[in-house]
A and B are shown apart, each in its own frame.
Chain A
């Protein structure tokens, strides 16, 4: 693992009214690793990922991407720097084809989005990377379908294909298994395992089997704070974590 973190979060805080959802979180994500964030409901996981993606502004703290503090940059600027996020609740453009959705992700990276004249939908520079991303997640057969018409599991796969097609430095995956059947969940785990080592991922996930199968490092978020952070075995063995979280799950 490299010495310099790709992402360093320092003392991040966010309150809504009187509730402090994220309370002084510091963590690092190193290049090439899968860093999972787990925690009970209401622990602040979704707030944390929204802060990282730029949909919320922190009250305090820094988010360093490389050497730059990006904590106050808008979401689209962070995407340009190499963030790609998937949404916990599927977020695609429902009226467009599955392929179009992924082509938009390619187009976002390409930066020449002000082409007014040449037809985009048969442009090989957009289609080829989009089809490659769809094949990677096993969605090539439904490429021509309207994105709003495919199944829930396929939506989740499309989310991943869109993040991949953007060729990001960092994947922010917000509960990629949410609402999936066991079969769909197995397939998604396979897709993410296939990406492991190639992409740096920050994974927020509820499904413990998935987290322990994929993560190189796990941070446990409880009440807006990091209760423990380390290798999966160490976290599994941590008494405080067991009490605060894993014990709850088992009960």
Chain B
């Protein structure tokens, strides 16, 4: 059931933007572009949070790294899109590898705090670099350039972001079903038993953490291209919290959970922020209800599970 809804959601996302343009509502294309970028980022977080049990409170750092991997070269008038994406993925992967190697030696609340601390380090590092705008941010005057694909066209940009979402979903789908995926899932369920069986699962976790970071960096690069403006605010710790919110709301460990979570999150944000400036309050209440009564999130409810 949750699979069906997930596929329907993807089908709707594939069809909606041209309809929105035809209806003279280009604003909706913008919202949907942000949605698919954040859904891809949340899906990458779900790999480690939902499947691996690694509660990273610093995942927005990779959105920022990905965005600055577009913004900084653009500042030097280097617009080669493949280079941007390569930089986004490579820098994110390296940062995840280096910080994960330390963070994964801790457990529980310490892991949460240390991942958040590493992300805040990047945040303050970027704030302090005046050359790239500090906390004022950086304007991207020209988007990443690819042969045959023009991201300046909003519909093209949308489908490029949509392709990143599809790729991320497919990759996570393959990974969690593989031998590797079984090991990280087993380690989430029972570390002691996995060690007794002979798994040195630290390495599997580090690999998953690195992959999730790299994937999120890619969605960050797309988000940077979309907003045309990047700032440290993109990787603020509250952004990491929003990504966790999306994963938990949608359903941890369900393939389409983060997509559903991101969709509901943005929908509510649009509706509630037009209605009251205290729009975050109902969000908090919603999260409490989900955690208390629907541990499996939206995906779990659709499966008839309460978790």
Note whether A and B form a binding pair: yes
Chain A residues near B201 (CB-CB < 8 A): 76
Q: For the complex, is B94 an interface residue (Cβ under 8 Å from A)?
A: no
Query: Nearest Cβ distance between residue B218 and chain A, in whole angstroms?
Result: 17
Q: Are A79 and B182 within 8 A (Cβ)?
A: no
Q: For the complex, is A222 an interface residue (Cβ under 8 Å from B)?
A: no
The interface centre, meaning the residue of B186, B193, B197, B204 with most chain A CB atoms within 10 A of its CB, is B197
Partner pick for B197 among A79, A115, A119, CB 8 A cutoff: A79
The interface centre, meaning the residue of A100, A101, A116, A162 with most chain B CB atoms within 10 A of its CB, is A116
Q: Are A117 and B178 within 8 A (Cβ)?
A: yes
Partner pick for A115 among B180, B189, B194, CB 8 A cutoff: B180
**What is the chain A residue whose CB lies nearest that of B208?**
A116
In B135-178, the 8 Å CB interface with A consists of 174-175, 177-178
Known contacts: A91-B193, A104-B197, A108-B198. The answer to whether A115 contacts B185 by CB under 8 A is no
Chain A residues near B195 (CB-CB < 8 A): 55, 74-76, 79
Q: How far is the CA of A176 from the CA of B188 in the complex (A)?
A: 25
Q: How far is the CA of A121 from the CA of B179 in the complex (A)?
A: 8
Chain A residues near B190 (CB-CB < 8 A): 91-94
Query: Number of contacting residues on B, CB 8 A?
Result: 26
Partner pick for A119 among B178, B185, B186, B193, CB 8 A cutoff: B178
Q: Are B204 and A117 within 8 A (Cβ)?
A: no
Q: For the complex, is A37 an interface residue (Cβ under 8 Å from B)?
A: no
Please encode chain A, from 78 to 114, with 1 for each CB lying within 8 Å of some chain B CB and 0 for all others.
Answer: 1110001101000111111000110111011100111
In B102-141, the 8 Å CB interface with A consists of none
Q: Are A103 and B182 within 8 A (Cβ)?
A: yes
Q: Are A114 and B198 within 8 A (Cβ)?
A: no
Q: How far is the CA of A61 from the CA of B192 in the complex (A)?
A: 24
Query: Nearest Cβ distance between residue B64 and chain A, in whole angstroms?
Result: 26
Chain A residues near B16 (CB-CB < 8 A): none
Chain A residues near B193 (CB-CB < 8 A): 87, 91-93, 162
A residues contacting B by CB (< 8 A) are 53, 55, 74-80, 84-85, 87, 91-96, 100-101, 103-105, 107-109, 112-121, 123, 126, 162, 166
10 inter-chain pairs at a CB distance below 8 angstroms, sorted by A residue, are A74-B200, A76-B198, A77-B198, A87-B193, A94-B189, A104-B182, A107-B183, A108-B199, A117-B174, A120-B181
Known pairs A55-B192, A55-B196, A74-B200; list 4 more (Cβ under 8 Å): A93-B186, A95-B188, A112-B179, A119-B174
A-B pairs, 8 with minimum CB distance: A79-B198, A93-B189, A115-B179, A108-B197, A108-B198, A120-B179, A75-B195, A119-B177
